[in-house]
Amino acid sequence: MIFKFVFRKSICVFTLAFILSTSSVLANKHQFQWQVGEELVYKVNWLFIRLGTLKIQVLDKLTMDGSTVYHTKMFIDSNPLLLFVNIHSVYESYINEDFYPHLFLAEEKIKGVTYWTKYRFNYADSVIYVKMTNTEDTTEVIVKQLPLDERLQDGMSLVFYARGNVHLQKKKKLTAFYEAQKGKLDINIRGKKRKIQIAAINSSLPAYELDGKAHFKAIAGFGGYYRGWFSTDNQRVPLKAEMKVFVGKVKIELEKWKNWDPIQNDK
């Protein structure tokens, strides 16, 4: 009897350990993989006209406010040959592993004035510390605090939130934070794979698709409906997107990359 009891208990322990280890392996298999040194360059086209270039970088991994964060940077540059658009912007965001920002730095135009802006998101005290410096008159500095009474996403963390969750199937309403104000954004994550093509890669690629609607207008008039396709490997690189800006519907497509392997995406 004692032998049977010990044997059954051992079987139960082994089974539980097997289930837990299998669950851990499956979770790790789908876990988003940050890649320090990653650089993604995109062309932005309106009809047959190249409007400009967008570049995203993951520069470093560090600790901020006791949390692991990743230093990310985005460059938006319009085509210098076009006279009707002149955009040259740089955004920096320090994003935690749950895809929320801890620090956001940018040059923003607010009420007709261009500022160097710094937003520090203090989750422990539920406060956003804001510092705004007039780019044309650096003696004009605005320092204030805003309530942090809900989870917010800046533009960069929205991209990484999508990358971290696009393999799932869910609908969410997120709150975007831009130019010191808030706006709602719907995101519909399909969690299904389909084949797409981009010019930079000769063969078709499996991709996760999502879509949604931004109920606000931000940089370059971004707002309204959008769609995006992401690689199916753990980096879940944005491959292409369609969205509305001030000139109308534009297409954004990956054309260059560093520290990403498209072949791995096929596995």
Q: Which fold has domain 34-265?
A: YmcC-like fold (2.40.360)
Q: Cα(34)–Cα(152) distance, rounded to whole angstroms? A: 20
pLDDT band at 266 (very low <50, low <70, confident <90, very high): low
Percent of the chain whose predicted confidence (pLDDT) is above 70: 87
Q: Strand 127-134 relative to strand 141-147: parallel, antiparallel, unpaired?
A: antiparallel
Whether pLDDT at 228 is above 60: yes
Q: What are the domain boundaries of the chain?
A: 34-265
CA distance 66 to 58: 20
Q: Which residue did the predictor score with more confidence, 266 or 173?
A: 173
Half-sphere exposure of 261 (CA within 13 A, CB side): 7
Burial annotation 226-235 (CB, 10 A radius, 16+ → b, else e): bebbbbbbbb
Mean pLDDT of 136-155: 94
The predicted model gives 61-70 an average pLDDT of 96
93-102, 129-138, 145-154, 215-224: which range is least confident on average?
215-224
Average confidence score pLDDT of the chain: 87
Q: Which of 129, 146, 86, 135 is nearest to 113 (CA)?
A: 135
Q: Are 188 and 209 in contact (CB under 8 A)?
A: no
Give the residue-averaged pLDDT of 80-104.
Answer: 90
Predicted pLDDT of residue 83:
78
Give pLDDT, residue 203.
86
pLDDT tens for each residue of 11-64: 544 544 444 444 333 444 568 999 999 999 999 999 889 999 999 999 999 999
**pLDDT tens digits, 234-263:** 999 999 999 998 888 999 999 999 999 987
Q: Which position has the higher pLDDT, 13 or 217? A: 217
pLDDT of 4 above 50: no
Q: What is the pLDDT of residue 8?
A: 52
In this model, does residue 163 exceed pLDDT 80? yes
Say which range, 24-28, 76-80, 167-171, 195-199, has the weakest mean pLDDT. 24-28
- pLDDT higher than 80, residue 10: no
